[in-house]
Amino acid sequence: MAQVKQITKKSEDISGWYNDVIEQSKLVEHGPVRGTMIWRPKGFALWEAIQKNLNIKIKDLGAESVYFPLFIPESFLKKEKAHVKGFSPELAVVTHGGGEKLTEPIIVRPTSETIMYDAFSRWIESYNDLPLVINQWANVVRWEKRPYFFLRTTEFLWQEGHSAHETNEEAEVLVEKALNLYIDFYRQVLGIYGYAGRKSESEKFPGADSTFTYEMLMPDGKVVQGCTSHNLGQNFAKVFKVEFTGKTGKRSFVHQTSWGLSSRSIGAMILAHGDDNGLVLPPEIAPVQVVIIPILTKSSEKNKILSLAGKTFIKLEQANIRVKLDDSESSPGWKFNQYDLEGVPLRIEIGLSELNSERLKVVRRDTKDARDIHINVIEVEIENILREMQVNLLDKSRRFTEKNTRQADNYKEFNEIMNTTRGFIEAFWCESASCEAKIKEETKATTRCLPIDSIEASGQCIYCGKSAKNRWLFG
Amino acid sequence: MAQVKQITKKSEDISGWYNDVIEQSKLVEHGPVRGTMIWRPKGFALWEAIQKNLNIKIKDLGAESVYFPLFIPESFLKKEKAHVKGFSPELAVVTHGGGEKLTEPIIVRPTSETIMYDAFSRWIESYNDLPLVINQWANVVRWEKRPYFFLRTTEFLWQEGHSAHETNEEAEVLVEKALNLYIDFYRQVLGIYGYAGRKSESEKFPGADSTFTYEMLMPDGKVVQGCTSHNLGQNFAKVFKVEFTGKTGKRSFVHQTSWGLSSRSIGAMILAHGDDNGLVLPPEIAPVQVVIIPILTKSSEKNKILSLAGKTFIKLEQANIRVKLDDSESSPGWKFNQYDLEGVPLRIEIGLSELNSERLKVVRRDTKDARDIHINVIEVEIENILREMQVNLLDKSRRFTEKNTRQADNYKEFNEIMNTTRGFIEAFWCESASCEAKIKEETKATTRCLPIDSIEASGQCIYCGKSAKNRWLFG
């Protein structure tokens, strides 16, 4: 019987804990090419659940599913200057194919704007063809020097949505809708609180007019970017000649957007909710929401206990709860540890006392709270507890984030925060690239976003003292 | 209003027809890198439907979903000699990553045996870990010199299933189950008849002990291989050290299988069923099964007709029929041609006479048969017709295949068939590689398979005249 190995404590060494918990719960492991990742069944089940959940929301945006080639001619990327400059250090290049050296190197897609918009220039003729909204689920490659499971991998999985519109206003609406979709997903499904806002000029997507993001604070005080939604303006349209004939017969360039969420979201979820015992999966995303463990100490009642466990299983399954019955020969204690490690939201224990009382012991993964619930109402109560747990995870994440969001009114305060607690810092910044670069160099803090609900105010840039009209979020 | 362009007649030039019908029905188009393919919404909807259908069957085999990296170290492929030899001419090689020349070239996966079995060697310890059955949906790359939509593309989409077992018998069972799954899929879902059988030594998968296949005859007399299911024996297990401890404590190599079906299946479906007017999609796979077209010639009754069309739409949708109502401003005639081109199985016309009689005109895409059906029984009758059409497509395919399967009792007859009708040829062959190679060189016919239901007989090899115990299927 394999033992549940000791994992590093989250509170003592979060990176060590993160690697331990991911490997020991068998989510993923390192691939043989540095920076790549092998998704084992338990890890890929999470991505399948995310795809299922997000795909419904994406189709509600009006997006149609497509698939574009993995291979992009190098010349395509070079067409938009900011774009190629942004991606150059991260590219994987195919130089040989079919046993021969290629005349033009081929790029393994780091994102698909260029190859898609070349197609848009053929697909779009008039306003009748607009808006054009598409989405693809794909693997993309960006060379990663310091790989870290889920959060920084050379190949990662994502969805990328792209759209073309008649006007900038319509593009702005879609950028906002996509952003809201992601905010909802992170909050309601993954249970992670964060701030949505606009990226600075230096942090925005290469080739975009503006980039919006959802930024989440992790327990180690570091910030993870959860998604992006870009207004690309007419930048790519001009380069790839994506034009349409309007109602008046006038030819114009389209206004474009792109937006994506990647497998990095799983990394954020693990960091945000896990504890010293392992993963804590939000019920909405957990492939198994409830595990039933029969306690078969008195063998004389074994069959009766198994029968009650089976009855419970059927009741929950009929209520569309994702339930697993583990009647394998491992000890109950081993199973408790194992399913705690794997982050299963609820555990139901059924032993002799449960058999006699008809009240089943239900233990919550996040709080460790135990309740006894009568078999007659088990499915209703389980649904309630799953909902409570989902809400609780978001609340906890919100409290943590708000507690660790601090205002710094001068550079001294700013530095103190970065040297001690870290977390989010709200500070006035003049929006000049040089102040931003120096703050980053001296404190390691980057501008995360200008929150969408920020109120225009006035103050002085914490770095240069010049007038600033917004408190930006650093982290 | 875009016109429906004239397409090449299938009966006159099947390749021209194939390209025309695919491009004009907007399924896919060529990507900018030669041999790659852009999947437009109408094309990708077919692959999504195939995934949905097949994934249920694959999970029924006991397979768990995984995802392995796109990038494979060159050294992995070199470990199994037959394997690397088989794939060498088809590889795409990444030589630069992150702005630097790599020390070891990386292969873009042409299939995942090597990278998966390296992981199996870590995952499998004892018989408790067996059988191990996994599946992934992925993009793979095999350099293609003569690209052809769906059937031969440099990047293609597929599922690849892989398993490891204690015994060869168990591996054989899975190979057969996977093959049967594909046979069912082709027959019941895509409506294409074909022959299942074992590949010859020279045509089997590089590294396999034996390869099984489903071979389908296309209207041009050429044969398409629809899937493969391989018994890999212990070949890869020995190379990648995939060993397990058995119940008696003895260490043994596992017995492995792999099996896959690709986006090529869509190409076969288009070729098999399409006609001069465009695609014919089998109801089981059609993203839209029924299109409702209101005929709004008498504007005074426009609202009543639209209301009846709407009522029909709701009735069909509630019966879980995939239905579309096209009340756009294009002419009915244009719409008829357009949906014929796109292969929508059934069309319902609702005009003035339908309004008065309450009997709707239903036209079948495959036979062009028209029937008038009362609105009260429309959903029941539509379900019946869709089922009839599904059966009819397979019957037609079977009749065509059987009619074009001929026995050749000597090399002269064999040559005559290849020079005239082509199609499948059943002929005795001594199973020597040299006869096989010479037959291929002289006639262009390859061994397709030894049908699984073939009866051992005895005869003389059509090439060398030596004794032969089976009639193989050539084509």
Same domain for A260 and A350, yes or no, is: no
**In degrees rounded to 5, what are phi and psi of residue A421?**
-80, -25
| pLDDT of B116 strictly over 70 | yes
- B115 and A32 in contact by Cβ < 8 A? yes
Residues A231 and A320 in one domain: no
The CATH number of residue A411's host domain is 3.30.110.30
Q: Residue ranges of chain A with pLDDT lower than 50?
A: 1-3
Q: Domain check: are B50 and B181 in the same one?
A: yes
A243 with A333, same domain: the answer is no
Q: Is the ipTM of this complex over 0.85?
A: yes
Q: Measure B197 CA to nearest chain A CA, in Å.
A: 30
Spacing of C-alpha B197 from chain mean position: 16
Last residue of a domain, one of B219, B247, B273: B273
Contacts of B382 (CB under 8 A, 6+ apart): B290, B316, B319, B321, B346, B348, B362, B373
Total number of domains in chain A: 3
Instruction: Name the closest residue on chain A to residue B104, using Cα atoms.
Output: A33
Under a CB-based contact definition with an 8 Å cutoff, are residues B471 and B407 in contact? yes
Chain B residues lying within 8 Å of A23, measured CB to CB: none
- Chain B contact present for A49, CB below 8 A: no
Q: What is the pLDDT of residues A264-311, one digit of tens each?
A: 999 999 999 999 999 999 999 999 999 999 998 767 899 999 999 999
User: Are residues A378 and A249 located together in one domain of the fold?
Assistant: no
- The B residues from 138 to 197 touching A (CB cutoff 8 Å) are 139, 141, 143-145, 154-155, 157
The answer to whether residue A34 neighbours chain B at the CB level (below 8 Å) is no
pLDDT value, residue B6: 82
| Domain harbouring A61, CATH code | 3.30.930.10
Strands (E), A98-222: 100-108, 132-141, 155-165, 195-198, 210-217
Does one domain contain both A294 and A225?
no
Whether residues B311 and B245 fall in one domain: no
Which residues of A fall within a CB distance of 8 Å from B70? 36, 70, 108, 139, 141, 155
- In this complex, the residue of A36, A98, A105 whose CB is nearest that of residue B71 is A36
Q: Do A258 and A378 reside in the same domain of the chain? A: no
Shortest Cα–Cα distance, A131 to chain B (Å): 14
Q: What is the pLDDT of residue A95?
A: 97
Confirm or reject contact between B127 and chain A (CB < 8 A): no
Minimum distance, in Å, between the CA of residue B338 and any CA atom of chain A: 17
In a domain, A392, yes or no: no
pLDDT grade, residue B5 (50/70/90)? low
Chain A interface mutation, best of B26, B50, B66, B162, highest count of A Cβ atoms under 10 Å: B66
Q: Do A47 and B67 touch (CB under 8 A)?
A: yes
Range of the structural domain that residue A222 is part of: 14-273
pLDDT of residue B115: 98
Chain A positions touching B38 (Cβ under 8 A) are 66-69, 115, 119
How many CB contacts within 8 angstroms connect chain A with chain B? Answer: 165
Does pLDDT of B1 surpass 60?
A: no
What is the predicted pLDDT for the residue at A392?
98
User: Among all residues of chain B, which has the CA nearest to that of A75?
Assistant: B32
pLDDT at A297: 77
Is B282 inside a domain boundary? no
The CA distance from A407 to A425, in Å, is 6
Query: Are B384 and B416 in the same domain?
Result: no
Query: What's at A433, amino acid-wise?
Result: A
Residue that finishes a domain, picked among A273, A305, A328 = A273
In this structure, the answer to whether residues A44 and A192 fall within a common structural domain is yes
> What are the start-end ranges of the E strands in B62-142?
64-65, 71-73, 92-97, 100-108, 132-141
- Measured between its terminal Cα atoms, the distance across chain B in Å is 45
* Angle at alpha carbon of residue A100, lines to A99 and A102, rounded to 5°: 135
Q: In the prediction, which pLDDT does B456 show? A: 77
Interchain proximity B68–A38, CB inside 8 Å? yes
How large is the average pLDDT for residues B21-49?
97
Give dist(CA A380, CA A291) in Å, integer: 16
A395 belongs to a structural domain: no
Chain B residue numbers touching A134 (CB-CB < 8 A): 41
Whether residue B141 sits in one domain with residue B31? yes
Q: Examine the domain organization and report whether B318 and B456 are in the same domain.
A: no
